[in-house]
Amino acid sequence: MTGFRTPNFRGWQVVVLHREDAGMHRLARQLERFGVTCHFAWPRLESLDPAVKAVFFDGDSGFDGLFPWPSGQPPVPLIALMRSEAPGRLEWVLAQGISSHLIKPVQSTGVYSALVLASHSFDQAQQQQARIEALKTRLRLRPEVIRAVLTVMRLDALDEDKAFACIRAAAMERRLTVEAFCATADEASLRALLPRRRRGGGLGRA
Partner 1 sequence: MTPQSRPDRRDGFGAFSFWGMALAPAEIPLGILYSVTGTYSLIGRACLDGARLGLEEVNSDPRYPFRFRPEIEDPGANIDHYLAFSEAMLRERGCRHIIGTITSIGRKEVIPVIEKYDALLWYMCPYEGFECCENVIYSGACPNQHIVPLFRYLLPRYGKRVYLVGSNYIWGWETNRTARELVQASGGEVVGERYLAFSSQDVARLIEDIRDQRPDFVLNNLVGTSSYAFLAAYHEAARGDASFAPENRPVVSCNLTEAELDSIGPAAEGLISTAIYFDSLDNPASRDFRRRVAARFGAGRRSSVYLVNSYIAVKLLAEAILACGSDEIEAVKAALFELALETPLGPTRIDSGTNHAALRPYIGRAEADGSFKVIEAVPPPIAADPYLVDFDARAFGAEVNRRSATQLRVVK
Q: Does 21 bind partner 1 (CB under 8 A)?
A: no
In terms of CB distance, is 81 or 148 closer to partner 1? 81
User: Please, which residues have CB within 8 angstroms of residue 148's CB and are 6 or more apart in sequence?
Assistant: 167, 181, 182, 185, 190
Closest distance of CB 14 from partner 1, Å: 15
Helix (H, G, I), strand (E, B) or coil at 9: coil
Q: Does 109 bind partner 1 (CB under 8 A)?
A: yes
> Strands 100-103 and 78-82: what pairing?
parallel
Cβ atoms of 13 and 36 within 8 Å: the answer is yes
Closest distance of CB 105 from partner 1, Å: 10
Binding marks (x or -) toward partner 1, 51..90, rule CB under 8 A? ----------------------------------------
Cβ atoms of 20 and 40 within 8 Å: the answer is yes
- Enumerate residues 24-43 that contact partner 1 by CB under 8 A: 26, 30, 32-35
In terms of CB distance, is 7 or 201 closer to partner 1? 7
From 112, 117, 144, 194, residue interacting with partner 1 (rule: CB under 8 A): 112
CA distance 205 to 157: 9
Partners of residue 81 on adjacent β-strands: 58, 102
Closest distance of CB 1 from partner 1, Å: 7
Cβ atoms of 114 and 100 within 8 Å: the answer is yes
Q: Interface with partner 1 by CB under 8 A: which residues?
A: 1, 3-6, 8-10, 26, 30, 32-35, 107-109, 112
